[in-house]
Chain A
Amino acid sequence: MSMAKNWKDKMWIVSIVYFSLGFFNIIFAWLGMLCFIIPILMSVFGKEKNFCNGYCGRGQLFTLIGANRGISLNRELPAFLKSRWFRYGFLLFFMIMFLNMLFATWAVFAGNGSLNESVKLFWTFDLPWKWANRTGGKIPLWTVQFAYGFYSLMLTSLILGLMSMLVFRPRAWCVYCPMGTATQMICKIREGEGL
């Protein structure tokens, strides 16, 4: 086994470290942008779905817990959750929620909104997360607001993924993961395939 395969197989650790860091200092949430930018750039520049296939720490984590540890109920995903309508609809929903988060960031930047030091789960429930703001006013508030918003998005999707892993198959989240849907869509467009 080559060294390259070794480190690629350990990306699940990166995922755990990322979510742990968010408990100590919310600004680390910005690192999650790499999980948005890298897969998109890879698919746009001809690396297909290599991120999902080999580098996604979240996918590895679900396999590790759900399949290797055997805690997944391994049930088949209902047909509607596998349908294109749902997958593209979920991608659209995530994009709208991302824009909504950017709007909140903009409001803080423009001085029209105050910093919300909470993690919003499922776009609804505010979890107090004030302790993780350790910036001490040294950096612009909007960067902190973005970090809270982005961490909310990442944590919500992780919980959805874990729930999917438990109830359905270990990597059920991959079926409707917005990044997976977006990168497959880009690949289809590149190859002239129907969506």
Chain B
Amino acid sequence: MTASVKKRKKAKVLREDCVACGACVNVCPAAAVIIHKGIWADVDHDRCIGCSKCAAICPASAIRMEIS
């Protein structure tokens, strides 16, 4: 019998679409998102809890939830 490891989805930023507005930073309960140099959002996958709040608020739909 093999132990199944449930993989959690994490937020992934589509840099090309990100407008760096910071809406994701403000809703993240884990403080896992920063705005990199004012150009795009960056997610720290070690901190991300996969709640998808950032993906829901992103006005540019530039955040996807993916299994990392």
**A48 in contact with B17 (CB, 8 Å):** no
- The answer to whether residues A53 and B59 also contact, given A43-B38, A188-B39 and a CB cut-off of 8 A, is no
Q: When chains A and B are docked, how far (Å) is the Cα of A128 from the Cα of B25?
A: 41
Partner of A52, one of B22, B60, B61: B22
Chain A interface residues (CB < 8 Å from chain B): 43, 48-50, 52-54, 59, 63, 67, 74, 76-77, 82, 87, 168-175, 180-181, 183-184, 186-188, 190-191, 193
**B57 an interface residue at 8 Å Cβ cutoff?**
yes
Chain A residues positioned under 8 Å from B26 (CB to CB)? 53, 63
Q: When chains A and B are docked, how far (Å) is the Cα of A28 from the Cα of B26?
A: 30
In the assembled complex, the CB of A86 is this many whole angstroms from the nearest CB of chain B, namely 12
Please, which residue of chain A has its CB at the minimum distance from the CB of B34? A53
Chain B residues positioned under 8 Å from A50 (CB to CB)? 38
Please, which residue of chain B has its CB at the minimum distance from the CB of A165? B59
**A172 in contact with B39 (CB, 8 Å):** no
- The answer to whether residues A49 and B61 also contact, given A43-B38, A191-B37, A191-B39 and a CB cut-off of 8 A, is no
**B21 an interface residue at 8 Å Cβ cutoff?**
yes
**B13 an interface residue at 8 Å Cβ cutoff?**
no
Q: Is the interface of B mostly helix, strand, loop or mixed?
A: loop
Q: When chains A and B are docked, how far (Å) is the Cα of A59 from the Cα of B26?
A: 11
Chain B interface residues (CB < 8 Å from chain A): 17, 19-23, 25-26, 35, 37-39, 56-61
Chain B residues positioned under 8 Å from A193 (CB to CB)? 39
In the assembled complex, the CB of B52 is this many whole angstroms from the nearest CB of chain A, namely 13
Q: When chains A and B are docked, how far (Å) is the Cα of A175 from the Cα of B37?
A: 17
**B20 in contact with A77 (CB, 8 Å):** no
Chain A residues positioned under 8 Å from B17 (CB to CB)? 82
**A170 in contact with B59 (CB, 8 Å):** yes
Q: Can you offer 14 A-B residue contacts whose CB atoms are under 8 A? A: A49-B20, A49-B21, A50-B38, A59-B21, A77-B60, A168-B59, A169-B58, A169-B61, A171-B57, A171-B59, A180-B21, A190-B37, A190-B38, A191-B39
Partner of B21, one of A43, A52, A76, A191: A52
- The answer to whether residues A169 and B57 also contact, given A52-B20, A180-B21, A184-B19 and a CB cut-off of 8 A, is yes
Please, which residue of chain B has its CB at the minimum distance from the CB of A76? B61
In the assembled complex, the CB of A3 is this many whole angstroms from the nearest CB of chain B, namely 18
**B59 in contact with A169 (CB, 8 Å):** yes
Chain B residues positioned under 8 Å from A175 (CB to CB)? 19, 21, 59-60
**A77 in contact with B22 (CB, 8 Å):** no
